[in-house]
Amino acid sequence: MTAGLLLASSMKVAHGRVNLRIASDGPLKGLMVDAGRDGTVRGYLGNPELELDLSRSSDGHYGFDFKRAAGTGYLHVVRDLGEGEPYSSTVELVSGAIGDDVASYLLHSEQTPSGVFVGEQIDSSGVRCSGGVLVQVLPKAAREPALVALLEERCREVSGFSARLAACQGDLHQLLVDIFPDLDPVPLDGDDGAAEQPISFHCPCSHRRSVNALKLLGRDELNAILTEDGQAELTCHFCNEVYDVGAGELQELIDELNLGAA
């Protein structure tokens, strides 16, 4: 979800959205994220019951082996500006680590060399912190080879990002100073005059949307559900909200489909 928000933050329109989907053969069974330029985000795992053991990396830090969990597969990215056909692209997973795979997408699909760092810390009570940094060189700065070389060197030196994220305790400017101590990072105002934007989990699912989704099953399938079960139950993958659709609503959908076919 952090990576999705980072990609969405660079979109030019306030209603723009980014979808990230990993389709892979690992025990994670893929994942899906929907993030908006407005700071809203939602996501789900193909296998939410999966538990991973901590593993120690070469630099002595402990983390989860996302590469093994993800397995081999593809990262699908869709950018939707709300104007015509969304732009979509697919790249092969390079490591199963979200930051590496999103950076690979930016390089190969958008021809934008980038550094992407995402991390989190989790304890027995849940997620303590989660966040990330997206580093890109603007066209004007790209004409300064020394600056680009320094930025690349600093990105290569970043290790233990999750621990650094936790140490900054929500002070994102301090996190940037920690990662790029000799680049003097300065916050810039956004399009709306603010350098910061609140983010939140938000799922726009509703009973009406769930009922409309049932239409995709077709008349025969809906008739079978009505005959065998007398009702339908739908669960949103993103927020786990459960919607019950009674016999009356099922019959109304069947009648609508019958009229459309007449």
Query: Cα separation of 210 and 243, whole Å?
Result: 7
Q: Give how far the C-alpha of residue 214 lies from the chain's centroid of Cα atoms, to the nearest Å.
A: 26
The pTM of this model reads: 0.85
Burial status of residue 160 (CB atoms within 10 A of its CB: 0-12, 13-18, 19 or more): middle
Count of alpha carbons within 13 angstroms of residue 53, beta-carbon side: 2
**pLDDT tier for residue 13 given thresholds of 50, 70 and 90:** confident
Confidence of residue 261 (pLDDT cuts 50, 70, 90): low
In 193-210, which positions are buried (b, 16+ CB within 10 angstroms) versus exposed (e)? Answer: eeeeeebeeebebeeeeb
**pLDDT, tens digit, 9 for 90 and up, residues 176-189:** 988 888 887 777 76
Does residue 193 register a pLDDT over 60? no
pLDDT digits (tens, 9 = 90+) for 127-182: 889 999 999 887 777 778 888 888 888 888 888 888 899 999 888 888 998 888 88
pLDDT tens across 222-258, in order? 999 999 998 999 999 999 999 999 999 999 888 888 8
- pLDDT class of 194 with cuts at 50, 70, 90: low
Q: Quick check: 95 and 68 in contact, CB under 8 A? A: no
Q: What share of the chain is helix, strand, coil (3-state, %, to 5)?
A: 35, 25, 35
Query: What burial class does residue 137 get, using C-beta atoms within 10 Å of its C-beta: 0-12 exposed, 13-18 middle, 19+ buried?
Result: middle
